[in-house]
A and B are shown apart, each in its own frame.
Chain A
Amino acid sequence: MSELTLTVMRLGFLAVLWLFVIVAVQVIRSDLFGTRVTQRGSRRESGRPQQAARQAAAPPAQRQQPSGGRQRRGAPSKLVVSEGSLTGTTVALQGQTITLGRAHDSTIVLDDDYASSRHARIYPDRDGQWIVEDLGSTNGTYLDRTRLTTPTPIPLGAPIRIGKTVIELRK
């Protein structure tokens, strides 16, 4: 075999090997998944318009709520933690069940001594109305000032209190 061919093959092989590595890194780059963490401005007021713009740009997955004309204009689009150690966290409401509690697999993991491991859940009923249900917690879930005993629909902006954490649904 001629020296030239072997040299070309040698360099070619290294090039191909590195190409593979680069392609693999590209796949990792496009493979970001999980939770998207976006820093908000330090002041809420300045943060809000940006967020609204971001939500408008995001794929309208959350809008595809159950069909059938019951699509209310005032349907909440996100859940916001307004008090407690998780203040500022928002979760987009896309028809999924949101679990709250200290358990590690909860959607919102509460690091709060007053929370039970499976404390409450928030889910949409068939009409797209969001319901909060206490899952037999020790210290209770409060909607406004009343302790929940049955699954209850959540009015927009009403505070749901679990221990030191307060969450509410917003548009």
Chain B
Amino acid sequence: MSSSTNTTTHHTSTIGSIGTPSRRNTELALLVFAVVIPVFAYANVGLAIDSKVPPGLLSYGLGLGLLAGVGHLAVRKFAPYADPLLLPLATLLNGLGLVVIWRLDQSKLLQSIKQAGDKAPNQLMYTAMGVALFVAVLVFLKDHRVLQRYTYISMVGALVLLLLPLVPGLGLNVYGAKIWIHVGSFSIQPGEFAKIVLAVFFAGYLMVKRDALALASRRFMGLYLPRGRDLGPILVVWAMSILILVFETDLGTSLLFFGMFVVMLYVATERTSWIVFGLLMSAVGAVGVASFEPHVQQRVQAWLDPMKEYTLSRQGVAGHSEQAMQALWAFGSGGTLGTGLGQGHSELIRFAANSDFILATFGEELGLAGIMAILLIYGLMVERGVRTALAARDPFGKLLAVGLSGAFALQVFVVAGGVMGLIPLTGMTMPFLAYGGSSVIANWALVGILLRISDTARRPAPSPAPNPDAEMTQVVRP
């Protein structure tokens, strides 16, 4: 990867190292900012809805501040050279998500259909669990290269996680998508965790195989075609994601895993042909499955003609939903500057207004200006992940960081694209913003791993190691 770019592009350049300050104080300052913004938003929602500052303001601010503080102290102690931006960005998104979930809790309409009411305290609890996992990752994962040992175990682990929702008695069919399992009174989305575990597997696998995949190829029409046997793994992953699509009827998860694999394959081999193959295969797969799977078909119909779907739903035809159209209306009525927090009517989306569709509330109440800022914040997180990958010195860390940030980016694209009507809607959650325990917890773990890699990558080179032979070896001087 980097070695070959070094040799080809910088023939006449000077490479010198720049010192890497730890940047922890920058992180703290940004973190304070990232806690103040959601508190401001919370006060704004309260003033707009009840004309008074909400009673929970102080405890909410303290709670979020406490969580952010714990995260910051853990980073300071266990990953002092880690990236200064990831933690504040994640905190801000999580805090804003909490505020909007609380704002939707106040809606009488959503309360009446049991879609809201007590979701914000739950989400705060999930956030606490997420931050706890984040701290645990930093404490117990001293070196990300340890994960390399578990390459094939993580493959099995990811498959098990993905198959869990299909186990009878454990799986849960929620509105057509079988991606949940229930344990006790909790429902868990194993796919969110499978994302991380699968990235570990892909990184470990590609690190070993990338030379074979990159070099053994024939050139045909300007593309490097891989050998037949090297196509094996991509075909397996493709088949796996198609199976997810067929049996769990979840377009998003399937797209996420396949896309993540193609991104990592491209980064590992530098071959554009993989991207071309990946796009072709996912197109073939998606069209193929959509031609016979009714649930997917219906999603595509709703995407092509949301208004018709809306009318059918209004007429009371079963199996249709007005969500997609309502979300588009929410974005439309938001305009450029939005209606203001707490003053929109995104509760009309009804089902999943505070999870999959939470972006519509942001779009309505903060407008185009706000949604662009939110998307930029996601973009910055992905950028920091990719920057970490660039800085990482070991190929496994590079691939893992690319895989995790690629998965994060794809998830944002799939959800935002679905809600905004760019691609068919899928049942996935907006990372950090949306209501949902699995998503919040898994994404905090993801940020934890990224910070660990970035700490290793940015740590200044250690001073020359004392040579154990120094005592015995006599240095010969001329």
Contact = CB atoms under 8 A, between A and B. Distances in A.
Nearest to B26: A27
Interface in A1-44: 1, 5-7, 9-14, 16-18, 20-21, 23-25, 27-28, 31-42
Interface string A60-71: 010000000000
Given A85-B7, A104-B395, A151-B475, A37 B84 contact: no
A12 B370 CA distance: 11
Contact of B14 (A17, A18, A37, A95): A37
A86 interface: yes
Interface of B: 1-4, 6-7, 10-20, 23, 26, 30, 33-34, 37, 40-41, 44, 47-48, 51, 84-85, 88-89, 92, 337-341, 343, 366-367, 369-370, 373, 376-377, 380, 383-384, 390-391, 393-395, 458, 461, 463-465, 467, 473, 475-478
Given A17-B373, A20-B34, 13 more contacts: A1-B48, A13-B44, A13-B370, A14-B369, A21-B377, A27-B30, A37-B15, A39-B13, A89-B13, A92-B16, A105-B394, A152-B476, A155-B478
Contacts of B33: 20, 23
Given A11-B337, A14-B370, A28-B383, A88 B12 contact: yes
A90 interface: yes
Given A16-B40, A96-B464, A155-B478, A10 B340 contact: yes
A165 to B, nearest CB: 10
Nearest to A112: B7
Given A14-B337, A39-B12, A152-B476, A96 B88 contact: no
Contacts of A139: none
B438 to A, nearest CB: 27
A102 B4 CA distance: 11
Interface of A is mostly: mixed
Interface size class of A (residues with CB under 8 A): 35 or more
A98 B213 CA distance: 31
Nearest to B83: A31
A158 to B, nearest CB: 11
Minimum-distance CB pairs A-B, first 10: A10-B340, A109-B3, A97-B464, A1-B51, A88-B12, A85-B7, A17-B373, A38-B14, A35-B15, A111-B7
A20 B380 CA distance: 12
A86 B48 contact: no
A131 to B, nearest CB: 7
Interface string A81-94: 00001111111101
A153 interface: yes
Given A11-B337, A85-B7, A24 B15 contact: no
A96 B370 contact: no
A123 B41 CA distance: 56
